[in-house]
Structure 1
Amino acid sequence: MSSSGVTEADFDVRESRECARVDIRGAVDPLSLQADPARKAGFKGALASAVRSGTTGIFTHDVEVTLVWFIEESRRYQTHLVADLDNVLKPILDAVTGVDGIMIDDNQVQSIRASWMTPGPRTGFELEFKALSADDYTSREGLSFVEFDADRCYLVPQAEKAVQDSFVRAYRAALAAYRSMLDEGMAESVARSVLPAARPFPRARLGKFEVVHHADR
């Protein structure tokens, strides 16, 4: 058991690959960003472990997040020890992000809906993560990126090397066309139309993911 008293068993994680959706049911209160570091680390570690065990995929583009926290009205209104709703999301997002998580980086969160409800027979919280497109959820095994500059890394499809190399060449050509259009004085909003549909990631946000520079491909 972690120092927070929370274990992996406190979370029920369900993945729907065909719907590009992950649902998490927590049997404990979410922790605040301002919680004691040891308690927060324990909570995040237990949730991360449950997500790693309960999922095989990862979101590759923007994500919608919905949080419902089940808590008694008297606790919510009449105590000062209960976290504010806006402070409980960051520890959760940190726990589900990374090479063993369901998001590459938490800046993928495009929208958040958060609310609390009186629990009835339940306590804890429910979380839903959903891709904006079903194609934006893929296996996280063997995930890798190709870097073109510090602010632009693209996901390489999980395929044979020849196929991956074709994607790298296509990315390289698209970026060359984009930069050429900018050099010619074209508006960035127009030049952007030639860029890949794939979402770029800054190198600094890719942490422990495999990243290879395009010159080495």
Structure 2
Amino acid sequence: MCIRSGSIIKVTIRRFRLVCTDAGVIVTRTIGWLEPHMHEELIDAINAANTGEAPSPFGKMEIEIPGAPVSVQSKQSVRDAYIATIKRPLSRFHFILTGQLVLDVTWLTPAKSRYETDAKADIDNCLKPIIDAFTGPDGLFINDCQLKGLYICWRHIESDNERLHFQFQFDSGQWCEKAGFAFIRLDRGLCFPVNRMWPKPMRKLWVEAMRAGEQQKARLEQLGTPYLALAGLTGGSQPFHITRTGGFTVFAPEEFASYDYAPSA
């Protein structure tokens, strides 16, 4: 409920809590005082996050996956099955995160199974399959190089309802739509996010702007400008090395600017 007071809206319910049962996604945030237009924008952003069209405007997401993690030493078929288990709920998200992330993993499991059996994977050995599940064209982010922090622990539960709890923190403004997402490769093997569904005139102009941006970036680097200040100068987004773009479509500049895109019926 909101109470209007002059031109200010006071939000009397101070928490938004959205639960999407398909993916176990929880978005929680305390809200204080908001201008009217900001309130409407925030509600729209929350609705977009709730439907999976955009990430949470609060830069936080929590996902819960049932079952125990697998070890990196497990058979490939076992790892593939586990990765598929995580990727299934991710299919509801129509965006991919392009900035830095912090991932906090909590394994909820009975302590007895950890201490008195050898059936459970060591927590350090289960990280790689987990990260692989969240990366790539059908994942939540592009590559594990985006992980600025990675934390994992296990916590005792009395029940047999074993599960993994993932908490992501990220820059809510650094993301792209999955539909049409691709990369354009410039010099030094650096690739920049683009959208292959853009109209041809836009793609041509974008290539010209990126090349000009690369020239300005090189000059600023020579003058000692810090890397983080320049990272998004070309194309407005953090570049990725070609080796970090596995599974994604990568265009040469000329190819991206000239091909004829035909929307599917």
* Matches of 2:169 and 2:129, distance apart in 1: 18
Aligned-residue offset at 1:12: 3.4
Task: Give the equivalent residue in structure 1 for 2:29.
Answer: none
Task: Give the equivalent residue in structure 1 for 2:162.
Answer: 123
* Matches of 1:117 and 1:56, distance apart in 2: 32
* Matches of 1:177 and 1:166, distance apart in 2: 17
SS of 1:31 mapped into structure 2: coil
* Matches of 2:228 and 2:152, distance apart in 1: 33
1:188-203 matched pairs, under 5 angstroms = 189-190=225-226, 193-194=229-230, 196=233, 197-203=236-242
SS of 2:128 mapped into structure 1: helix
- Higher RCO (Cα < 8 Å, 6 or more apart): 1
- Within the candidate set 4, 12, 16, 2:23 is matched to 12
Q: CA offsets per residue over residues 136-158 of structure 1, 9 Å max, x none? A: 13321110211103531111257
* Matches of 1:206 and 1:44, distance apart in 2: 18
Task: Give the equivalent residue in structure 2 for 1:211.
Answer: 250
What is the TM-score of this pair, normalised by structure 1? Answer: 0.80
Gap runs ≥5 in structure 2? 1-21, 27-48, 50-54, 258-265
Structure with the greater alpha carbon radius of gyration: 2
Aligned-residue offset at 1:29: 0.5
Q: CA offsets per residue over residues 143-190 of structure 1, 9 Å max, x none? A: 0211103531111257544444443322211211233456xx544x55
What is the TM-score of this pair, normalised by structure 2? Answer: 0.67
* Matches of 1:66 and 1:194, distance apart in 2: 28
- Within the candidate set 132, 137, 157, 1:99 is matched to 137
Q: 1:190 to 1:138 in 2, by over 3 A?
A: closer
1:46-195 matched pairs, under 5 angstroms = 46-52=85-91, 54-121=92-159, 122-131=161-170, 133-156=171-194, 159-180=198-219, 186-187=223-224, 189-190=225-226, 193-194=229-230
Aligned residues: 202
* Matches of 1:81 and 1:213, distance apart in 2: 48
* Matches of 1:178 and 1:156, distance apart in 2: 19
Task: Give the equivalent residue in structure 1 for 2:62.
Answer: 23
Q: CA offsets per residue over residues 10-66 of structure 1, 9 Å max, x none? A: x834383233444321220011111222211211122223322x3221111111111
Gap runs ≥5 in structure 1? 1-10
SS of 2:23 mapped into structure 1: strand
* Matches of 2:60 and 2:228, distance apart in 1: 29
Task: Give the equivalent residue in structure 1 for 2:40.
Answer: none
Q: CA offsets per residue over residues 191-214 of structure 1, 9 Å max, x none? A: 774551511111122123221112
RMSD: 2.5
